[in-house]
Structure 1
Amino acid sequence: MTITPAVPLLRPHAEQAFADELGALAALDDRPRPPAWSMSPWAVVTYLLGGVLPDGTVITPKYVGPRRLMEVAVATLATDRALLLLGVPGTAKTWVSEHLAAAVCGESTLLVQGTSGTAEEAIRYGWNYARLLAEGPTPEALVPSPVLTAMRDAKIARVEELTRIPSDVQDALITILSEKSLPVPELGTEVQAAKGFNVIATANDRDRGVNELSSALRRRFNTVVLPLPASEQEEVDIVTRRVEQLGSALELPEVPAAAEEIRRVVTVFRELRSGRTLDGRTSLKTPSGTLSTAEAISVVTNGLALAAHFGDGVLRSGDIAAGIIGSVIKDPVADKAIWFEYLEAVVRERDGWNDFYGACREISG
């Protein structure tokens, strides 16, 4: 259970930040609910995609993209299949995972964060070694993992960056997902999953340090691929909404003052990411970085902080230039050449971009 502290939170969990929306949806939701779910699958999709309830409550969109993808994801969780959200970095996999868990079971914090150092105990269970030495293996000495807790409590467990976890540790999930039970041989028993338990994992295959999923494990998941935003306007809307939420929490200037620069950041990212200008007339070399929507959000948020604390509160080209350059130039040799070519061939010639060109040239040297 998540306890809300008295002090303001920098980054509330989804079930805290959107408690009013979740409560309003649950109160008006009269559709069938799977066992242990807080609301029906229809209400979960409404929570994710947004809408207006009969009582006038506005549900803000948490995900901007094809409705069918969210319907498939939610329907998967209503079965005995686990859900794998797959996509390139920055396609809102973690964001969707958190909000799915918050809407389905009211708790998004049963989380295993995948890294190269994630041990099998993070997925199965560990031990309180002081009690283990004093008492031997007992139920009281066992330390449950987030997955085991979710199994007992009929919750959703989240496994972030599954492909960063070593392959032998990944496979600890196979028995859990296929048998819906977790053997505890030290106690001569097992934990059987309660109805309502499921797993949401996220993964990408673009970053370095990725461990491929075994075919046995992949078969235990229903995979939903989250795409990059389909259009420039869709990506602008996503960046604007997230920057507005972050800016409010950080007490930064309001987003309307940043609309022009948000569109500029999105344009640069989409062109360099696709290797072509938006009008399709000029081919471009693509840098080594992902230039994701999440990075665009970070660039704009950092620019707002600069404008608020070292400027006049209005986001300008100079406030976003350094952030864009830092996102584009990951390789100091190859990416720098690509950036300067883009700057001279595209940005310099674009109407209304003189201030941005000047700011980038000044910072780039």
Structure 2
Amino acid sequence: MSTSLSSSVSRPSDQAPAVLRAHAETAYAAELDALAAADDRPRPERWRLSPWAVATYLLGGTLPDGTVVTPKYVGPRRIVEVAVTTLATDRALLLLGVPGTAKTWVSEHLAAAVSGDSTLLVQGTAGTPEEAIRYGWNYARLLAEGPSREALVPSPVLRAMAEGKTARVEELTRIPADVQDTLITILSEKTLPIPELGEEVQAVRGFNLIATANDRDRGVNELSSALRRRFNTVVLPLPATLDDEVSIVARRVSELGRSLDLPEPPSALTEIQRVVTVFRELRAGVTADGRTKLKSPSGTLSTAEAISVVTNGLALAAHFGDGQLRAGDVAAGLLGAVVRDPATDRLIWQEYLESVVRERTDWKDFYRSCRDAAAL
């Protein structure tokens, strides 16, 4: 006797299961609705909001009715404006940056604000097939009935073309080059031929595509010049200042903590500032005061990784401590983020602890916790 997973979980029949992470258009539905109600500017066809309102949604602001729109991206306003404007033209948008610069986050929120749907997504990997971008087939129907519209399985890109929405391709440079080039006809002609049916799908107004890519990870496939010309490239930089990065980490950690039902700590700012300071100094290869040069480890030490380290620390504090985030809660996660190559990164980390962290009088607890974690 088999039992389905859903039936084995006890809950009231009228209560929907809580998802771990809601899509942007669901999580921020109230803000999007308030922006739509207040938005009196021209909107491109099939856009949920005007370009001005999309930029406000990403950058934050206060609406005339008092609704506070939380910032989704902390960075130069012009970057967001260029990205939004690109989507209002016939050019596709390529968000480029080192790992952890919020490319996927920005891509999702742009699609949510423009189309009200961020789910038309192709996740790029080394094994992504051409069918993930074009279309596939229901082989049972294909064998039984032959090629037909009913047997065709549309890709997220094909659906976006037919519905006039925004498609997303994550990690474009991880996709094999010959599969990448499947996008050339789609982006240049705004058409996807289906030779098996003797038909084509033409993109309706409102369709566009956002791709993300970085050139720092292993397994990167360079974009062909023909494909790169179809994109307007916007480079997302690392946060410019310590305060900016601390603000980003604090906001995302708070959101993640709520989704995981972690109690809000009395204050986590001190440890967040320390983690971000460590990441920024090791990334830059110099201390914040510019006096001491440092060796940089092999990892990227991105903002996303800082968020992960602090969130894990909050979970430790909540489940195995008193709820107050302390140095000991983030030390092990910090060690794991910095030391990716045990042969070289461990020496770099130890040198940083002894020459920099140890000398900071108000970091004594942090130094001891990190040293103890490294000794385990």
Fold match by TM threshold 0.5: yes
Matched, 1:243 2:277: no
Deviation digits for residues 62-89 of structure 1 (CA, Å, limit 9, x no counterpart): 0000000000000000000000000000
Q: Name the residue aligned to 1:166.
A: 176
1:91 and 1:227 in contact (8 A); partners too = yes
1:329-340 maps to which residues of 2 (within 5 A)?
329-340=339-350
Matched, 1:351 2:368: no
CA RMSD in angstroms, aligned pairs only: 0.7
1:253 and 1:314 in contact (8 A); partners too = no
1:81-120 maps to which residues of 2 (within 5 A)?
81-120=91-130
One-letter code aligned to 1:22: L
1:174 and 1:220 in contact (8 A); partners too = yes
1:227-266 maps to which residues of 2 (within 5 A)?
227-254=237-264, 257-266=267-276
2:265 and 2:324 in contact (8 A); partners too = no
Matched, 1:215 2:225: yes
State the SS of the aligned residue for 2:314: helix
2:25 and 2:32 in contact (8 A); partners too = yes
Q: Name the residue aligned to 1:66.
A: 76
One-letter code aligned to 2:44: P
One-letter code aligned to 1:360: C
Deviation digits for residues 259-314 of structure 1 (CA, Å, limit 9, x no counterpart): 10000000000000000000100000000000000000000000000000000000
Matched, 1:137 2:147: yes
Matched, 1:17 2:55: no
1:277-356 maps to which residues of 2 (within 5 A)?
277-356=287-366
One-letter code aligned to 2:349: W
CA distance in 2, matches of 1:239, 1:219: 34
CA distance in 1, matches of 2:45, 2:327: 52
After superposing the two structures, state which structure 1 stretch, 256-265 or 130-139, moved more. 256-265
2:282 and 2:294 in contact (8 A); partners too = yes
Structure 2 residue ranges without an equivalent (≥5): 1-14
State the SS of the aligned residue for 2:256: helix
Structure 1 residue ranges without an equivalent (≥5): none
Question: Identity over aligned residues, as a percent?
Answer: 77
Matched, 1:124 2:170: no
One-letter code aligned to 2:305: E
One-letter code aligned to 2:42: P
TM norm structure 2? 0.95
Q: Name the residue aligned to 1:34.
A: 44
Q: Name the residue aligned to 1:197.
A: 207
CA distance in 2, matches of 1:360, 1:297: 18
One-letter code aligned to 2:181: D
Q: Name the residue aligned to 2:5.
A: none
One-letter code aligned to 2:98: V
Runs of 4+ off more than 6 Å = none
2:266 and 2:324 in contact (8 A); partners too = no
CA distance in 1, matches of 2:116, 2:16: 20
CA distance in 1, matches of 2:308, 2:352: 21
Q: Name the residue aligned to 2:9.
A: none
Matched, 1:157 2:167: yes
One-letter code aligned to 1:254: E
CA distance in 1, matches of 2:233, 2:307: 26
CA distance in 1, matches of 2:85, 2:265: 35
TM norm structure 1? 0.98
1:52 and 1:59 in contact (8 A); partners too = yes
Q: Name the residue aligned to 1:54.
A: 64
State the SS of the aligned residue for 1:361: helix
- Report deviation, 1:253: 2.8
